[in-house]
């Protein structure tokens, strides 16, 4: 078989490559602890599980679903935005459920970009922003996220000829992988940039409810008039511990939601009805459940940051997200070489910053979604490895 030309310049998903290395390590008998992926280890709220079970037991809930989802789900999403952000959405025209936000991100590129168009993407950033553009035959222009700017892009530095050819601008705050946050003033400036250049601003916000120390993350749609220029992607994966359930949402600009729905109508048949019912329950979960869950992550982050600081791996405790974004210690040329050595010699898996773009070189991302005891063991192994370069695998 000869693959399509569009695949020739698209590398395999970086975490798929890492998973292959993990499998090889496990095959050698190494005890692996994965801190590379933000994959929640805790279950959803009990009411969510109860709703799923009841819905699965309904014989009429096993047929095809509509790509636009249940109206009740769209209303639940709109209610969540009203309650959480004070944003009013029309569930008929400004809300569409997704099979996880990842598919919506890639499909958004299909809906908006033509060959030769440009997408402005953060670097480091979530890979599907650039991969979606590549699959659409478009180009990506990187927006460096630098520590001296608080990992916010400098939109004024985008050349005029690039801005004039851009159709999409991707932002993501709270940010993956850096853990950085953005305020409403930054969002207002970004919206002004997008309006001036007739760009659809896509804000990816799956970590908006994974926050610490009283921080409350905003929605870009809180800016007056934002809905004329922006669409926001969100997910139940991190907020409600439902990563494997594959349910998310896109909300905002009517034309963008409609275009996204047109793509989806041709490629999927909607979310499994019981999952939709469970999502409706999740979206009404008492926020105290989220606060209690976040306290578990916060405790784990303290453990991670104490270890990183003791090793001189420069990092800043985040106000949000599941991650520590840390400098690679001295002695390794690249982030990937450090991550591979750490995996081979200790079984601890971290994500090389280079997986998220060239500007991520020199960093690694560590997730706190492993059970607390495993995380503590991983920190002991990391500390021993960096201090002693121990070459004996843990078994």
Same domain? 310 vs 379: yes
Here the tokens at position 4 are 């399509």
Distance between CA atoms of residues 158 and 155, nearest Å: 5
CA distance 219 to 235: 13
Report the pLDDT value the prediction gives residue 158, as an integer from 0 to 100. 97
> Same domain for 237 and 250?
yes
Domain termination site, one of 286, 312, 347: 286
Query: What is the model's pLDDT at position 25?
Result: 80
Q: Do 316 and 230 belong together in one domain?
A: no
Q: Give CB contacts under 8 A, 24+ apart, made by 291-298.
A: 293/42, 293/241, 294/210, 294/211, 294/212, 296/42, 296/372, 297/210, 297/212, 297/322, 297/368, 297/369, 298/212, 298/213
Q: Determine, yes or no, domain membership for 393.
A: no
Q: Are 315 and 308 in contact, with CB atoms under 8 Å apart?
A: yes
For residues 245 and 358, state if they share a domain. Answer: no
Distance CA 318, CA 303 (A): 13
Evaluate the CA torsion angle 289, 290, 291, 297 in order and state its sign.
Answer: positive
Contact 247, 275 (CB under 8 A): yes
End-to-end CA distance of the chain: 41
Q: Do 244 and 175 share a structural domain?
A: yes
Could you give the number of structural domains in the chain?
2
Residue 54 shares a structural domain with residue 199: yes
Q: Is residue 30 part of a domain?
A: yes
What is the CATH number for 186? 3.40.640.10
Q: What is the pTM of this model?
A: 0.94
Q: List the structure tokens of 101.
A: 């936000």
Evaluate whether residue 394 is within a structural domain: no
279 within a domain of the structure (yes/no) = yes
For residue 395, being part of any structural domain is answered with no
Residues 339 and 351: beta-carbon distance below 8 Å = yes
As given in the structure block, the two tokens for residue 331 are 């002695």
> Would you say 252 and 232 are in contact if contact means Cβ atoms under 8 Å apart?
yes
- pLDDT tens, per residue, the chain with 395 residues: 888 878 777 767 777 778 887 788 888 888 999 999 999 999 999 999 999 999 999 999 999 888 889 999 999 999 999 999 999 999 999 999 999 999 999 999 999 999 999 999 999 999 999 999 999 999 999 999 999 999 999 999 999 999 999 999 999 999 999 999 999 999 999 999 999 999 999 999 999 999 999 999 999 999 999 999 999 999 999 999 999 999 999 999 999 999 999 999 999 989 999 999 999 999 999 999 999 999 999 999 999 999 999 999 989 999 999 999 999 998 888 999 999 999 999 999 999 999 999 999 999 999 999 999 999 999 999 999 998 764 445 54
Q: What is the pLDDT of residue 389?
A: 66
Q: What is the C-alpha separation between 336 and 349, in angstroms, rounded? A: 11
CA dist list (Å): 180 to 115, 142, 369: 32, 17, 18
Tell me which of 259, 286, 313 is where a domain ends.
Answer: 286
Do residues 74 and 187 share a domain? Answer: yes
Residue 314 to residue 175: CA distance in whole angstroms: 18
Residue 305 belongs to a domain with what CATH number?
A: 3.90.1150.10
161 with 262, same domain?
yes
Is residue 127 a part of any domain in this protein?
A: yes
Structure tokens at 250: 């896109």
Neighbours of 239 (CB within 10 A): 24
Among 255, 286, 317, the domain boundary falls at 286
Say whether both 232 and 263 belong to one domain.
yes
- Domain residues for the domain of 319 are 5-43+288-388
Say yes or no: 18 and 150 in one domain.
no
The DSSP secondary structure of 203-227, one letter per residue, reads: EE-TTTT-B-TT--PPPGGGSTTGG
Residues 113 and 237 in one domain: yes
């Amino acid at each position: 078989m000869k693959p399509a030309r569009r695949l020739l310049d698209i590398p395999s998903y970086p975490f798929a490559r890492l998973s292959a290395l993990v499998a090889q390590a496990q095959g050698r008998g190494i005890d692996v602890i994965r801190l590379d992926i933000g994959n929640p280890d805790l279950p959803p709220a009990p009411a969510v599980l109860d709703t799923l079970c009841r819905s699965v037991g309904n014989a009429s809930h096993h047929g095809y679903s509509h790509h636009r989802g249940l109206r009740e789900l769209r209303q639940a999403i709109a209610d969540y935005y009203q309650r959480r952000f004070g944003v009013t959405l029309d569930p008929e025209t400004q809300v569409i459920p997704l099979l996880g936000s990842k598919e919506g991100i890639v499909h958004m590129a299909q809906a908006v970009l033509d060959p030769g168009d440009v997408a402005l993407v953060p670097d480091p950033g979530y890979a599907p922003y650039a991969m979606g553009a590549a699959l659409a035959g478009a180009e990506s222009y990187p927006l460096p996220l630098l520590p001296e700017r608080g990992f916010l892009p400098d939109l004024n530095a985008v050349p005029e000829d690039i801005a004039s050819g851009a159709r999409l601008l991707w932002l993501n705050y709270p940010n993956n992988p850096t853990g950085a946050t953005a305020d409403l003033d930054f969002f207002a400036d970004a919206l002004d940039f997008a309006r001036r250049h007739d760009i659809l601003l896509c804000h990816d916000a799956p970590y908006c409810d994974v926050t610490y120390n009283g921080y409350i993350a905003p929605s870009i749609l809180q800016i007056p008039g934002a809905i004329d220029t922006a669409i926001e992607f969100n997910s139940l994966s991190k907020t409600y511990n439902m990563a494997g359930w594959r349910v998310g949402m896109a909300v905002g600009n009517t034309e963008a939601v409609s275009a996204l729905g047109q793509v989806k109508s041709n490629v999927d048949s909607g979310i499994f009805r019981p999952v939709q019912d469970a999502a409706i329950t999740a979206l009404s979960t008492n926020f105290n459940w989220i606060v209690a869950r976040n306290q578990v992550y916060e405790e784990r982050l303290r453990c991670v940051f104490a270890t990183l600081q003791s090793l001189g791996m420069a990092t800043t405790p985040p106000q949000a997200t599941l991650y520590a974004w840390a400098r690679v210690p001295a002695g390794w040329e690249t982030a990937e070489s450090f991550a591979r050595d750490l995996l081979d010699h200790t079984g601890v898996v971290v994500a090389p910053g280079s997986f998220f773009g060239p500007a991520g070189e020199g960093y690694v991302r560590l997730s706190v979604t492993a059970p607390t005891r495993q995380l503590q063991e991983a920190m002991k192994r990391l500390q021993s490895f960096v201090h002693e370069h121990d070459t004996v695998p843990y078994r």
